[in-house]
Chain A
């Protein structure tokens, strides 16, 4: 058993007995009860479990909970609330960027990181950025539209 001190969505957790083989995805869902992070393939292919670690998107099924010692994690629960969606969440709603919703937390967390790191000036660039996240409902059209719209809003805000 290993000690882990990690901040998740602004709340600090000090745990003294984390089993080393516990995946970050299971730690978030089962230990902390944050079930917004979805578990799909558990081998890094589907992207559903994507969260932010110190601001960078990572697959939580490809990390051990003990590796987050000292880190700050943001999950979909940390983006906005049902009453006050964040910009990207609002664009997903506006553009109908989700159907069953299973891939949506991973899409949102990936989108947040893409918006921060890439110009996303063309749909090709958005699609390249989303290539690591699988959606079986939407055909991706409306997810791309939501991110395109969020990127345009970001561009307007910049001087």
Chain B
């Protein structure tokens, strides 16, 4: 359970990191917080020839408001996002989700760029990137380009980056909503979700005029449920709303099963969490 041999470089700029990846000729791997990569190195499931450590690139660590978007540097630690007053006020669903991101020691070290790049189907930040319709800025030999989160996440543990590209920052549009909730169940608090749902709504008299819904833990990638978002516009707000929402969510998701939980259980759990999330979103005065 020790990593295989590799060369180690710790560049001070993104340009130098891209150069190091180019020089590694496809055998390089970027390390940020390392909370997913180190287990892979220890198991020797990943055996890069060169490890490019981003931790010395200080300008990649920030949280700032840019008009109606919140920009987060790729090297920002989960713990910084968990604590940020700006995130709490502008991206409340993210703020609520952060305590579910692994455990304190991992939040102290893990980064948003790393979590998105790892693209675990049951990790909170990839789901939130779809939920908020985030845009990732990535840098490679040809310069910078912007990638929508929906395009960035390709499959389980698979992103669309080229071997010499590095995630630099992520922009999250602020939702002008008045009710929201985040619900998750894991085998052990902080472990990967068996099922989870994020909901945010803007109410208009007797109905919902705008909604966001995303789920995870039930498919190869997190899913944004645009069909459900649209269907919510036709639903009346009454004491049946949460049940109807739960039905809409489960009718458009077919949960996968694995050794942690069967497909039937995850499907049942998702319906339950959907009901609970909508109840919380609609009861809140925000």
Contacts and interface: CB of A to CB of B under 8 A. Distances in A.
A21, A114, A129, most chain B CB atoms within 10 A = A21
A58 interface: yes
A110 B105 CA distance: 7
Interface of A: 2, 19-21, 23, 26, 42-44, 47, 50, 53, 56-59, 61-64, 66-67, 110, 113-114, 117, 127-129, 131-133
B189 A127 contact: yes
B8 interface: yes
Interface of B: 1-8, 10, 34-35, 38-39, 41-43, 51, 53, 55, 79, 99, 102-106, 108-109, 188-191
Given A21-B5, A110-B105, A114-B104, A128 B35 contact: no
A113 B42 contact: no
Contacts of B190: 128, 131-132
B106 A132 contact: yes
Contacts of B189: 127-128, 131
A1 B39 CA distance: 22
Q: Chain B CB within 10 Å — which of A19, A42, A66, A67 has the most?
A: A67
Given A21-B6, A131-B188, A132-B190, A50 B1 contact: no
A42 B1 CA distance: 7
Contacts of B8: 2, 20, 64, 66
A132 B34 contact: no
B39 A26 contact: no
B108 A132 contact: no
B157 to A, nearest CB: 16
Contacts of A132: 102-106, 190
Given A56-B79, A67-B53, A131-B190, A44 B1 contact: no
Contacts of A64: 8, 34, 38
A20 B51 contact: yes
A132 B253 CA distance: 30
B148 to A, nearest CB: 30
A75 B1 CA distance: 22
Contacts of A21: 2-6, 41
A129 B107 CA distance: 11
Given A21-B2, A67-B53, A67-B55, A131 B103 contact: yes
Contact of B106 (A59, A117, A128, A129): A59
Nearest to A26: B2
B108 A57 contact: yes
B95 to A, nearest CB: 15
Nearest to B103: A132
A67 B10 CA distance: 9
Nearest to B8: A20
Contact of A42 (B42, B102, B108, B191): B42
Contacts of B55: 67
Contacts of A127: 189
